[in-house]
Structure formats: C-alpha cells, structure tokens
A = this chain, B = another copy of it.
C-alpha cells in the first residue's frame, strides 16, 4: 500500500498534466456543435485508461455521445465494483464572468480553474490514477474493477439506460462506486446517502404570430412576456411553497433522524449567505435551509426569456416568451407525473389570448436513497476515516444523479458516492475549480477503499447483487 502511495506521489505532476489536458477539451454535451469535442474527450479517456494498464478499453457508440468502458477482473471470488464517472461538462456561459478561459486550466491559490474540473473530470481521473499505481507497482488490484464513463450526464444521461441494459453481463458488479458527486465541505468528510431526482420541461407562450411594434399594438393584445410572468409567478405561493396542485402529494415527511442529523451539521445561514453572496435565504416554510436543499422537492426556473435583450431600447411586443424549468424530486415522486402536473397547472393558468406549447419531457430521474448499512458505505466510511482521521457525516445531496436509478433498475445495483469534489467549487457556474490537495487525498482514499473492500469480501457476498 505504501508503494502505491509513493507511486502516486512521484507521478503527481504528470497526472496533473493529464488533468490539464483533459479539461482543455470543451466536452459540452448539451451543445450540438460541440459533439466532436465530446468525442475527443471520450477518446482521451480511452487512451488514458489504456496507459493506466487496463486492457479491454472500448469506446461504444450510442445514439448520442460515446460511452467508454474498461475492466480488470483477474481475482475470481473477490468483490467487483463498477466505477462510474462522466467526461462531459456544462456549458461555460456566461463567458464574461470567468476570470480565466473556461477551457484552459489555470492554477491560482492551490486551485485549478476550468469548466468541468470539479464536475467531474478531476474526480473521475482519481480512480484511474490509483488503478495505474496498483498495476504498475503490484501488477494487480486488490479487487475486481469495471469502469464506465459516459458523455451525457449533464443532459440527463438519455442513452445510458439502454446502454447499461444492453451490456448487463459485462457491467455486473456488487455495486457502483461513483466518482461523481461531491463532499459537503472541504473541512468535513461526508458521505452522501441520498440525491434528489429531476424532472425538466420547457414551455413557450405565443401571442401574435410575429413581433409587433409595442407603440402601435400595445394595449390591444396579450403580451407574451406579461403572460409568462403571471404563469411563472403562479407556480409558487408568496412564501415559497410550490402551488402546483398535487406537487407534494407523494412526498413523505422528513424522518426525525434525518432532521436531527441535519441540525447537527456545522451550518449557519449567515455563513452560507456570505459564501453565495446573497442577501437572504428563502424557501418552503417549516424547513431549515439544508432540509429544503437536500430533502424537500423544489421547482426552479433555470431560464426565462423573450423580446429584446440587447443594448438600449427596442419597442417590441414580442411574439413569444420562453421558460425552462427543472424540479428536484424526493423519494416517492414520479418525474413524469410531476412534469404532467406542472403542465396541467400552466395550461390552466394560460389566458385564452395565447397558446402554450411544451418540450423537454424526456429528461427525468427519480430521487435516490441508499440503505444506511450498505457495505459500500461502510467501506467508504473506513477509507475516509483513514485519510482524514475523523468520522464522516452523512449528508443529503441537493442535485440529482439520474444514474443511481439507471443502475438500480437495469442491474439491481446500489450506488455509493465517493467523489473528492467539494460543493463550493462553482460547478455549473463561472470559475469552476477543484482543490489540488484533493487530487492526492482522493487518490489516498481510493487506494484505502480498494484495500478495505478486499478485506470485506464476506460482507460483499452478503450485501451485493
């Protein structure tokens, strides 16, 4: 084990160069014109897996972006884990808010800045580093590993389900160990035990068939901007509760344990507001900020637009207005059912002088919760304790990892989150960064994980599958 850590230490600079090269590829999965870059990233990952010593590296075509897989399964009877990560990234907009180019890794104060560096390029490189170290130093790993890296996580993994079902035998393992996810705080080792689900929709309000002069026509017709504002405003009550009929129907109340654990975390609204530079918290009454962000469902506008948005004045009564919505869901809520309820609500709140159309129904995932005594969690706790010298805390996750559901449904496998990103690293925002100390700590922890899991093979045999 010490030899592995020595190897990781000695090869740190080279591995950091790998990371710089990786984040230099603008693999933005949501932008069609970036498809060649996404493919380039897939090929980069495949090459990197090969140089780590893995043999059966494959780049699989899908109807969307490629999936990259590899494996090392030379220990019959030993536990097998499926390591998951994604090589695609969010769009870098708004570009003018970045302090350095988003696709040019820039180091400042021990942090590496680039789009995707925290979500999920550095975290997914860590297990590859560790596998390389084991294979170069010992010629073997202590457990069997399979690896799967997808290029569509940021767009809801539309083709992963079919891929996983189509490769069930090759991917079967005891459980999934996800390099995607994130620690709650840099100074508190945590393990994520739940993730919210997601449903997404986009809608368009159309008034007149073309843009009109607001001087000539204003006052005569519905302005789609007024209509969409009223429709959006109707989605919440003034206190922040979602007003969509039935939205909370299938939501179970928070357990006293969860509420107690959450209250025990070192968190204050004041510090949080300083971190995000916001004047005040807000949301569903009756819950703390963390409870609202981790364990309660939400409905958030992600985009709202129509009319003239350039410099100066344009006196236009626009033909159309648009909005993008995503909801975060908790266990019990069905993504499609929630989306339908919102669509019904919006149709009901549209006045007769406009038409409303919807799109984006394909993008959904139910929430996920892992059994608290799962062996993969237990081993993770042990590995983190060995690196950080303190007991990790259990936390929820506000974001969604739709793949948990995919792996459970397609392969009956649970997912353990073991990522070394931290929640304050501006993911999905300008100036995304990753803490470079974590590039080593993460590698230490993954090494410890492999070792501890090898020692737990009996428990795995019981809990796995």
Contact = CB atoms under 8 A, between A and B. Distances in A.
Which of A307, A309, A313: most chain B CB closer than 10 A?
A: A313
Copies in the complex: 2
A219 B296 contact: yes
Given A213-B428, A229-B232, A307 B313 contact: no
Interface in A199-221: 200, 207-221
Contacts of A100: none
A419 to B, nearest CB: 13
A400 B196 CA distance: 51
A440 interface: no
Contacts of A312: 30-31, 155
Interface stretch (A53-61, A167-175, A278-286, A383-391): A278-286
Contact of A306 (B213, B218, B305): B305
Which of A90, A219, A318: most chain B CB closer than 10 A?
A: A219
B302 A315 contact: yes
Contacts of A283: 219-221
B313 A430 contact: no
A351 interface: yes
B300 A223 contact: yes
A281 B282 CA distance: 37
A93 interface: yes
Nearest to A221: B278
A225 B301 contact: yes
Contact of A429 (B211, B226, B304, B313): B211
Contacts of A326: 214-215, 218, 313, 315
Interface stretch (A140-148, A339-347, A353-361, A407-415): A353-361
Interface string A258-290: 000000000000001000111111111000011
Contacts of A215: 196, 198, 326, 328, 397-400
Interface in A297-334: 298, 300-318, 321-324, 326, 328
A322 B94 CA distance: 15
Interface in A51-93: 90-91, 93
A236 B228 CA distance: 13
A307 B280 CA distance: 19
A232 B222 contact: no
Given A219-B296, A328-B219, A352 B310 contact: no
A349 to B, nearest CB: 10
Given A219-B398, A315-B428, A308 B324 contact: yes
Given A222-B282, A298-B219, A321-B304, A212 B156 contact: no
A220 B262 CA distance: 14
Contact of A398 (B217, B306, B328, B428): B217
A354 B280 CA distance: 7
A217 B431 CA distance: 17
A190 to B, nearest CB: 13
B307 A301 contact: yes
A136 interface: no
B277 A316 contact: no
Contacts of A298: 214, 218-219
A220 B272 contact: yes
A220 B311 contact: no
Contact of A353 (B156, B279, B301): B279
A456 interface: no
A204 to B, nearest CB: 12
Contacts of A31: 310-312
A97 interface: yes
A219 B284 CA distance: 7
A427 interface: yes
Given A198-B215, A282-B221, A276 B208 contact: yes
Contact of A314 (B91, B281, B296): B91
Contacts of A185: none
A51 B446 CA distance: 82
B303 A308 contact: yes
Given A229-B301, A304-B307, 12 more contacts: A31-B310, A200-B313, A210-B431, A215-B397, A215-B398, A216-B398, A219-B284, A220-B283, A229-B304, A233-B233, A302-B316, A315-B428
